[in-house]
Amino acid sequence: MKETLRLQYDALVIGGGIAGLQSALDLADQDFKVAVIEKDATIGGKMIRLSKVFPTLDCASCITTPKMAAAAHHDNIDLFTYCEVNSLDRSQGRLKASITQKPRYVDPDKCIGCRQCEYQCPVYVPDQEQGGFNLRKAVYIPFSNAIPQLALIDVEHCALCGKCAKVCPTEAIDYFQQPEDFVIEAKTAVLATGFKLTPMDQKKEYGQGQIPNVISSLQMERLLAPHGPYQRVIRPSDGKEPDSIAYVQCAGSRDLSLGISYCSRVCCMYAIKQAMLLSGALPLADITIYYMDIRAFGKGYEQFFQNAKAMGIEFVKAKVGRIEQGENHNVLLRIEEQEGDGRVVRREHDLVVLSLGMVPDWNPAGICPVGTGDDAFIKCVRPKLAPTLTEMEGVFVAGVAAGPKDIVDTIAEAGAAAMEASNYLNSSASGRAA
């Protein structure tokens, strides 16, 4: 029987998004050996999939890509992508993580990322990296600045025609690859497991994801990105350049009918950011934001909101009660105004964006003894004085894994988690990994 591979590190970071990468880099720069475990085939998390960031309107990729490259090239960091964490336990003073490497069906030591396999593959598959608005192949590299640049085969859509193996110049295709289990032992860990958006299909009143020109905020990020599905903003039902775009705020937050009572903290600002970017991309389009309250709490955020108003973006204080399919692929909104006489009115738009909220992307139940709060995010045991401490000794939390927050706060918290982990390592008697 094959012996399970056991690897030793000082720190284990679970999640390769911006929080995980920042924690890993901060620890590695202090000369600790760090392993980063990522469930996707590439590191970068949600941030690498965004167009720009608020309130500076810097290119998200221009900030994230150097962090990804720095982590990939750091002597003290090893990246384990396309992996699942099965368990994380502490025994005899060390953390032990049982991990499964999912098969890519491509030999990572041979693949040179040339994409010849992808070009030859005859099967098209909806590309979720592009919000489902474009297609990829059954063998593919997730996106052009993915790290690592390694192809993988989606076996559920693979016809096993052999074309990829035939054109691969390095004979990297391995149809017989199997999942491989291995163990990482470390003294400390940082949980940076991020978030996902509230599902589109939950709210009956908003069409349950069945109205083609009602899209999510992350789908709009892809439409606005330079390497987006259409390389411009057009609506997905028929390719029309929209003249009228609406944002529905609190579409997945502060809504007890969805079981989400909390505010997701970033939706107001990302909607304003997207509205400003749309004003630039489509100068003649009317952009309306239907909101309950605008929460512009961070540094420079209120000014950003005021700038958006000055640019001509219409802010309507109203609750959207119903979204329906209109004529000519348009979308009808039934809204209750919260100013003036509070009347119910109907308005029509070419494209509608739901400002969906944040929910955790990972549940530690059954994997590690870390508790969660009523909101299902990881519980912080000292939220005011040490917000990165969890219920498990030597295990810290960073970023949205602990609760909704923006990128600025996520990066600051990731640095704090790295410092807590570093202090923990320095205070322990057994020293650093060899």
Partner 1 sequence: MGKPDKEAMKALRKQRKAYIDRAQQEMKKQRKLIKAIKEQIKDEPKTVPRIASEAKLQADQVLLYVAALRKYGQVVEVDKDGDYFTYKLDAEA
Q: Which residues bind partner 1 (CB under 8 A)?
A: 107, 119, 122-124, 126, 133-135, 138, 155-160, 165, 171-176, 212, 229-232, 234, 236-241, 243, 329
- H or E stretch including 116? helix 116-120
Q: Give least dist CB 1 to partner 1, A.
A: 22
Q: Which is nearer to partner 1, 226 or 383 (CB)?
A: 226
Our CB check for partner 1 shows the closer of 231 and 303 to be: 231
- Return the closest-CA partner of residue 318 out of 287, 347, 290: 290
Q: State the sign of the Cα–Cα–Cα–Cα dihedral 403, 408, 413, 414.
A: positive
Q: Please tell me the distance from the alpha carbon of residue 395 to that of residue 390, in angstroms, as a whole number.
A: 6
**Which C-beta is closer to partner 1: that of 133 or that of 301?**
133
Pairwise CA distance, residues 278 & 235, whole Å: 13
Q: Which residues of 76-96 are buried (b: 16+ CB within 10 A; e: fewer)?
A: bbbbbbbbebeebebeeeebb
Please say whether the beta carbons of 10 and 27 come within 8 A.
yes
CB of 213 to partner 1, least distance (A): 9
| Cβ distance to partner 1 smaller for residue 129 or 413 | 129
Q: How far is the CB of 233 from partner 1 (least distance, A)?
A: 11
Smallest distance from partner 1 to CB 371, Å: 39
Residue with tokens 């989400």: 260
Structure tokens, 109: 């030591």
**Residue nearer to partner 1 on the CB measure, 241 or 255:** 241
Question: Bridge-partner residues for 354, per DSSP?
Answer: 216, 248
- Nearest approach, Cβ of 169 to partner 1 (angstroms)? 13
Helix (H) or strand (E) holding 124: strand 124-126
Residue 97: closest CA among 171, 176, 7 = 7
Closer residue to partner 1, CB minimum distance, 179 or 431:
179
Q: Which is nearer to partner 1, 231 or 363 (CB)?
A: 231
**What is the token pair recorded at 251?**
């579409």
Least distance to partner 1, CB of residue 119, Å = 6
Least separation in angstroms between residue 238's CB and partner 1 is 4
Q: C-beta of 124: minimal distance to partner 1 in Å?
A: 5
- The residue (of 172 and 248) whose beta carbon lies closer to partner 1 is 172
CA 23 from centre of chain:
17
Question: Read out DSSP for 353-394?
Answer: EE---EEES---TTTSS--B-TTSSBPPSBTTTBTTB-SSTT
CB of 162 to partner 1, least distance (A): 8
Question: In the complex with partner 1, which residue's Cβ is closer, 94 or 157?
Answer: 157
Beta bridge partners of 90: 95
| Cα(68)–Cα(89) distance, integer angstroms | 28
- State the Cα–Cα distance between residues 22 and 71, nearest whole angstrom: 9
What pairing do the DSSP bridges indicate for beta strands 135-137 and 124-126? antiparallel
